[in-house]
Structure 1
Amino acid sequence: MTSYAEVIGDPIKHSKSPLIHGFWLKKLGIVGGYHAHHVLAEDLAAYFETRGADPDWRGCNITIPHKIAALDHVTDPGGVRQSIGAINTVFRGERGQLIGTNTDAAGFFAPIAEDEWAFRDAIVIGAGGAARAILFALAQADIGSVTILARSPLKAAALLSHFGLKGQVLKMDARLPPAELLVNSSPLGMAGQLPLEIDLSPLPENAVVYDIVYTPLETRLLAQARELELDTVDGLDMLIGQAAFAFELFFGQAPPADCEDELRALLLK
């Protein structure tokens, strides 16, 4: 049988992960597969039980809404539950055990790593599993104050406390404070989801606007940022970055580093 990995979520049709991993598998000549698999919340335990018994299964990426719940079905030798509190990747260990980890944090930070973020201010929209990875990365970068815009103020406040960040929690429709980095970690603005209605005019001219949504790639948030001549980072940067770390865990080889332009062109078709 052929080894394979997959991405799970609900919904899942929007995922570009099969294109990314399939591209790398072909480039490296690896015999293997990668596909999307729709998993409902009530089926998550059965999914991991079934896949754990399949020796050809190498692991999975995890997207909305399973990044937190999946922790209950895997081992956690790296202490991800205590550090980030959410996983986006499960892979098979040397003894066959299912290991949960998080490649979102590194994937998120890679496109902005060349900038110095210590003591600068940030805004994060959303308080879900992706926000956890982003806040973890910002904490490691010694970010200054963090403002979280969230529907659940208590949940957002708990995240600030968990990651030892100073800042504030505002409602989704609140006026933005001036900050050098704004990150949309929510599904708002994604195809099939509610739009993200936000006024970026309070941001300074040196601000970076980062939207992890990649369907569509040109979100209304990024379009508004470009109209204001702000620097932007689109969702493909984080998607490709986190996928690269996961691919090596699944298939034992790092993805090729010299064909990112070709990969982006494929994803934009």
Structure 2
Amino acid sequence: MTRRVCVMGWPVAHSRSPMIHNHWIAEHAIPDARYELLAVKPEDAAETIRNLHRLDFIGANVTVPHKETAFATLEKHDAIARRLKAVNTIVTLEDGTLEGRNTDGYGFIANLKQGAPDWRAAEGPAVMLGAGGAARAIAAALEDEGAPEIRIVNRTTERAEALIRDLGLSNAKVFADSEAQKALEGAALLVNTTTLGMKGESDVTLDLASLPRDAVVTDIVYTPLETGLLRRAREAGHETVDGLGMLLHQAVPGFEAWFGVRPHVTAELRNIVLADLGLK
């Protein structure tokens, strides 16, 4: 029987997940395995998730706007999904039941470690721009990794404060946009978790003058591969890490759970995705 996995979203045609997972399926010569796109309207998401096995899928990835629906629909979750109240990966457990997991934070940290091998979370405060869905996963991952302080810079401080309460962060502080320079002082990491800088969006205009020269700067945006923030950081002498690796690394735990093989994020895979995105 073919082991089928899908990525469900609305829309979903833009997803590169099939390219990533089918590359690994071929690379590891896994027989009778296939990864597919599954377009699911929001009103149909809960029923689709409940009937995943009846649709002949052993698991799935979940993308916007279904991550919170997946969490609410599934009865079992790993610790990270429970904390974030969002699911991006569904796996079949040994007893045949479905479990929701969240690998976004793992993908972020793994990308940072690959792109900036000398970075260590414990070296200093991490500054996050934004307090949306991606910020939740990244903040939790940074705390788990040992960041001594997480500074959240957001236009509306109420949303950042709500994020801190929801995640139970004990080492986080909120800064308004007008306080951004103060937030950068002494930081070891700067992360843009917003869509600012994405093709068609306005850029991050933050002045990096207060950021220590040895701080790493990363961006979850990967179209363009080098955002305006990353370009300015690079020109100022900072080590930078683009956002494509987060997309690639977050796929690793799911693939291992579905097919029993732990894949690697290689230069070959990165180049394949870059070419498809028209960035190479």
Q: Is TM > 0.5 for Structure 1 vs Structure 2?
A: yes
After the TM superposition, which of the residue ranges 228-237 and 154-163 deviates more from structure 2?
Answer: 154-163
Q: Aligned pair in 2 of structure 1 residues 44, 240: CA closer, same or farther (>3 Å)?
A: same
CA contact (8 A) 1:136 1:163 kept: no
Once residues 22 and 250 of structure 1 are traced to their aligned partners in structure 2, the CA distance between those partners, rounded to angstroms, is 13
Q: 2:227 aligns with which of 212, 215, 219?
A: 219
Which residue does 2:278 correspond to in 1?
none
Once residues 131 and 196 of structure 2 are traced to their aligned partners in structure 1, the CA distance between those partners, rounded to angstroms, is 12
Percent identity over the alignment?
A: 40
Q: 2:257 aligns with which of 239, 249, 254?
A: 249
TM-score, normalization by structure 2? 0.83
Once residues 221 and 21 of structure 1 are traced to their aligned partners in structure 2, the CA distance between those partners, rounded to angstroms, is 30
Q: 2:135 aligns with which of 119, 131, 134?
A: 131
- Offset at 1:251? 1.7
AA at the equivalent of 2:248 = I
CA contact (8 A) 1:67 1:129 kept: no
Which residue does 1:166 correspond to in 2?
171
List per-residue Cα deviations over 1:13-46 (Å, max 9, x = no partner). 4322221111101111123222333334333213
Q: 1:204 aligns with which of 212, 232, 240?
A: 212
After the TM superposition, which of the residue ranges 212-221 and 224-233 deviates more from structure 2?
Answer: 212-221
Say yes or no: does 1:18 pair with 2:24.
Answer: no
- Offset at 1:264? 1.1
State the secondary structure of the residue aligned to 1:68: helix
After the TM superposition, which of the residue ranges 145-154 and 237-246 deviates more from structure 2?
Answer: 145-154
CA contact (8 A) 1:160 1:167 kept: yes
Q: 1:265 aligns with which of 254, 260, 271?
A: 271
Which residue does 1:49 correspond to in 2?
50
After the TM superposition, which of the residue ranges 170-179 and 204-213 deviates more from structure 2?
Answer: 170-179
AA at the equivalent of 1:90 = I
CA contact (8 A) 1:119 1:145 kept: no
Q: Aligned pair in 2 of structure 1 residues 146, 80: CA closer, same or farther (>3 Å)?
A: closer
AA at the equivalent of 1:33 = R
Which residue does 1:118 correspond to in 2?
122
State the secondary structure of the residue aligned to 2:70: helix
Q: Any gaps of 5 or more consecutive residues in structure 2?
A: 276-280
- Offset at 1:152? 4.4
Which residue does 2:197 correspond to in 1?
189
Q: Any gaps of 5 or more consecutive residues in structure 1?
A: none
Say yes or no: does 1:180 pair with 2:188.
Answer: yes
Q: 2:154 aligns with which of 150, 155, 162?
A: 150
RMSD: 2.5
TM-score, normalization by structure 1? 0.86
Which residue does 1:101 correspond to in 2?
101
